[in-house]
């Protein structure tokens, strides 16, 4: 498990542990504890090598996931694809139900967790959510596996899908309480990297200049991270998120 967790983190996907053969987080704050910090990841899985692996969805990871929960849900999704157009080939996981998780790039609008908004049995995991990833073990004892027939990169979700689950582009909703708590209260060791990545993603999605974002996060790190990260590490995190944001906009 630890090798898979480290591999995902190296690709910029924040991970955290769930209890063995369970979907329940094994950390105090659940997906808020997700990180790409290799030292923290090693500490978690050395403590319990059988922990399942969860990836936090949303801006920090740059993905959201469509959860097709069973054969009936698959049939409902096929109806929508016939009505609009087929979903693009993307990264997929085969789930034990059986079902599948379809991974998409984070769009230029906000995607929340939802149940049945796309179709009965077809859910989403977005900002503030998480998903179990291979080789995690389902409570049934069966493993999650990467689909060998899927793409090797995350695809852009089609507009018809986003129209069902995403906040309208021009909707400037008030920031959730979670953001306020993060900015005001700060974070302890083990959550610093992921928190800076999430804040960078939020700022850069709103077209803030990357240098301005770096200045803000450097100051926030100094006053709200306990203990503060090295300045070069903060810059590296912001650079990584900025590069992903420019690629999402088609500018890199």
Residues 124 and 120: their CA atoms lie apart, in Å, by: 12
For 212-230, the pLDDT digits (tens) are: 999 999 999 999 999 999 9
Stated pTM of the model: 0.68
Residues 130 and 186: their CA atoms lie apart, in Å, by: 22
Comparing 33-42, 118-127, 176-185, the range with the smallest average pLDDT is: 176-185
Residue 117 vs residues 70, 77, 104, 155, 215: alpha-carbon distances, Å: 16, 11, 17, 20, 39
Instruction: Label residue 248 by pLDDT band (50, 70, 90).
Output: low
For 18-55, the pLDDT digits (tens) are: 999 999 999 988 998 999 999 999 999 999 999 999 99
Q: Residue 109's pLDDT is what?
A: 82
What's the mean per-residue pLDDT of the chain? 89
Q: What is the mean pLDDT of residues 137-159?
A: 92
Residues 232 and 218: their CA atoms lie apart, in Å, by: 10
Q: Residue 250's pLDDT is what?
A: 61
For 60-98, the pLDDT digits (tens) are: 899 999 999 999 999 999 999 999 889 999 999 999 888
């Amino acid at each position: 498990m630890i090798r898979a967790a480290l591999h995902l983190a190296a690709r910029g996907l924040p991970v955290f542990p769930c209890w063995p053969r369970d979907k329940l987080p094994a950390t105090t704050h659940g997906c808020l504890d997700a990180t790409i910090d290799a030292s923290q990841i090693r500490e978690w899985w050395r403590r319990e090598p059988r922990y399942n692996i969860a990836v936090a969805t949303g801006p920090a990871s740059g993905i959201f996931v469509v959860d097709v929960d069973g054969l009936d849900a698959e049939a409902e999704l096929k109806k929508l694809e016939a009505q609009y157009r087929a979903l693009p080939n993307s990264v997929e996981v085969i789930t034990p139900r059986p079902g599948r998780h379809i991974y998409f790039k984070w769009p230029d609008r906000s995607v929340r967790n939802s149940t049945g908004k796309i179709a009965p049995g077809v859910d989403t995991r977005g900002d503030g959510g998480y998903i179990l990833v291979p080789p995690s073990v389902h409570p049934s004892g069966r493993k999650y596996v990467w689909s060998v027939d899927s793409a090797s990169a995350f695809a852009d979700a089609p507009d018809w899908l986003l129209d069902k689950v995403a906040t309208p582009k021009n909707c400037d909703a008030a920031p959730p309480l979670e953001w306020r708590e993060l900015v005001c209260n700060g974070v302890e060791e083990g959550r610093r990297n992921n928190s800076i990545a999430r804040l960078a993603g939020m700022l850069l999605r709103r077209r803030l200049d990357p240098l301005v974002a770096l200045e803000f996060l450097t100051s926030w790190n100094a006053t709200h991270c306990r203990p503060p990260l090295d300045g070069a590490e903060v810059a590296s995190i912001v650079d990584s998120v900025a590069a992903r944001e420019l690629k999402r906009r088609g500018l890199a």
